[in-house]
A and B are shown apart, each in its own frame.
Chain A
């Protein structure tokens, strides 16, 4: 068997990953037709390259079906608990930087901190008969942060896309989402709380701690880590 490296199959994250490895002496090449999810690594022996959805890479690493994987810190921390039982961080790749933040309507001039949000959640529930809804796809991270901040009387509503639009659509009162420039937030009349981000994320190379290794794979793993200077 060979060592398996999973990288994002689409978009900017894939392109930046394809650009990062050659700087460390390993070239990643797409093979087959343009839309085919197939690729190979050149410059190292015994390494299989797999193109996967960035959101599935945490699960595959945790189950030991990938030895290495490139994906965002946000997805690893949202999907795996405790993170250190499943994966080890090998290298921060220096791209894909984004913050997970909690944002409220700009017009909420009375809300700047988590303390304000908690007070408003109590007020909102009394006035509307339901909890203040926070739309996000980062359920665990958002819930853990709000618990740590002592915010009560809120409710998470799942949002898998266009999360910034949920407040205007009145399916949520606030959102928790990944942002890099904040432009989408501003365009949707939203503003982050004046608090440090819930999580600072970037593209990262992870090593599975659960994958079984044959002698051959262990040798390939050592070569791979030496080549990358880890």
Chain B
């Protein structure tokens, strides 16, 4: 695939999205590292290029457009808004040396809280319609969050599970831990001098939390089986909705999540997307960098292929960037090089 062909495809996609009413967005290739680090943590360092500037401090080669776009919109934008952008993004590929470290990315993002199901459907349909025929995948991490909220356990355990939704191995380890009795641990005191910023009160608080942990009963077999069923849910969208409704009978916390899925499927059908042709897997998109927390989707040439497009809802990310101010947002990105390859 030649570079001019990829650039032409990127230009075509950008023009397509702006013709649909999206406002073009531009931002620098060098981005301040601090915000990105604060959001994504050390994971981003292993996946983005960092560089040092004596005046500006640590900078990063743009790993995505989402963060600068959300910041720009919060400062200057008016709700509702739709944006499109195109430009290079840079990702380190230590685990996949064969993948490119620099590529073009085209994005389409919707900031509109009035009807989330409608916005989800619009984001998916707009991106799908911009591309040739591809195999879709969908998921919804909001269902997993709802299932955690429905567990008969302490808030501490629910928080810990939610904190690790995007780390599947750690999540499984926590579930295993919470599914057994927790052995009590003696709160020993140390004669060693306390050094560093962490205070004695914080150490005491953690010992109290450990004591509470030891008193917390294991997850009930029913809770565990509901959660396992949610994690394993993989079917066509209408069948997944039916399974979720069935689970909601014994776990009422799941009912609003099922309602959201149903509203989304209705909105998709209204836009010409047949839900029976839409595979659904609750945990799809769990390990993407973007930390989607609701509807998630991908479009690929076939199973096992690298996706041409990925997207989803990222309300939690905007809440973090907005210091608590909620800003419902959904969107997706396309790799024009992979789009051309898939179309051949």
A residues lining the B interface (CB < 8 Å): 81-82, 85, 105-111, 115, 118-120, 122-124, 127-128, 131, 139-140, 143-144, 146-147, 149-150, 152-156, 167-168, 170, 172-173, 188-189
Q: How far is the CB of B123 from chain A (nearest CB, A)?
A: 28
Listed by A's residue number, 7 A-B pairs whose Cβ atoms lie within 8 Å are A109-B188, A109-B203, A122-B159, A123-B209, A143-B42, A152-B41, A155-B41
**Residues in chain A near residue B192, CB distance under 8 A:** 105-107, 189
How many residue pairs link A and B with beta carbons under 8 A? The number is: 95
B163 touches A110 (CB 8 A): no
Beyond A123-B206, A143-B42, 13 additional pairs, beta carbon < 8 A: A107-B194, A108-B190, A109-B190, A109-B203, A115-B177, A122-B159, A143-B45, A147-B42, A149-B170, A150-B169, A150-B173, A156-B42, A170-B197
Looking at chain B's contact residues, the main secondary structure is helix
Q: How far is the CB of A133 from chain B (nearest CB, A)?
A: 9
**Residues in chain B near residue A153, CB distance under 8 A:** 41
B202 touches A127 (CB 8 A): yes
Q: Render B185-216 as a binary contact track against A, CB cut-off 8 A, 1 for contact.
A: 00111101111111010110111011000000
B210 touches A110 (CB 8 A): yes
Q: How far is the CB of A138 from chain B (nearest CB, A)?
A: 13
Residue from A110, A128, A152 within 8 A of B206 (CB atoms): A110
Chain A minimum-CB-distance residue to B164? A150
Q: Is B75 an interface residue (CB 8 A)?
A: no
**Residues in chain A near residue B42, CB distance under 8 A:** 143, 146-147, 154-156
Report the bound CA distance from A120 to B199 in whole Å. Answer: 12
B195 touches A154 (CB 8 A): no
Report the bound CA distance from A131 to B38 in whole Å. Answer: 8
Chain A minimum-CB-distance residue to B94? A81
B163 touches A123 (CB 8 A): no
Residue from B41, B163, B196 within 8 A of A170 (CB atoms): B196
Residue from B41, B43, B173, B187 within 8 A of A109 (CB atoms): B187
B41 touches A168 (CB 8 A): no
**Residues in chain B near residue A131, CB distance under 8 A:** 38, 41
B46 touches A108 (CB 8 A): no
Residue from A105, A149, A150 within 8 A of B196 (CB atoms): A105
Chain A minimum-CB-distance residue to B188? A109
**Residues in chain A near residue B41, CB distance under 8 A:** 131, 152-155
Q: How far is the CB of B301 from chain A (nearest CB, A)?
A: 28
CB within 8 Å for A189 and B195 given contacts A109-B187, A150-B164: yes
Determine which residue in A106, A107, A153, A154 has the highest number of CB atoms from chain B within 10 A of its CB, and name it. Answer: A107
A152 touches B37 (CB 8 A): no
Q: How far is the CB of A173 from chain B (nearest CB, A)?
A: 5
A119 touches B207 (CB 8 A): no
Residue from B190, B197, B205 within 8 A of A173 (CB atoms): B197
A105 touches B206 (CB 8 A): no
B203 touches A108 (CB 8 A): yes
Chain B minimum-CB-distance residue to A110? B206
**Residues in chain B near residue A120, CB distance under 8 A:** 198, 206
Report the bound CA distance from A202 to B213 in whole Å. Answer: 40
**Residues in chain A near residue B198, CB distance under 8 A:** 105, 108, 120, 124, 173
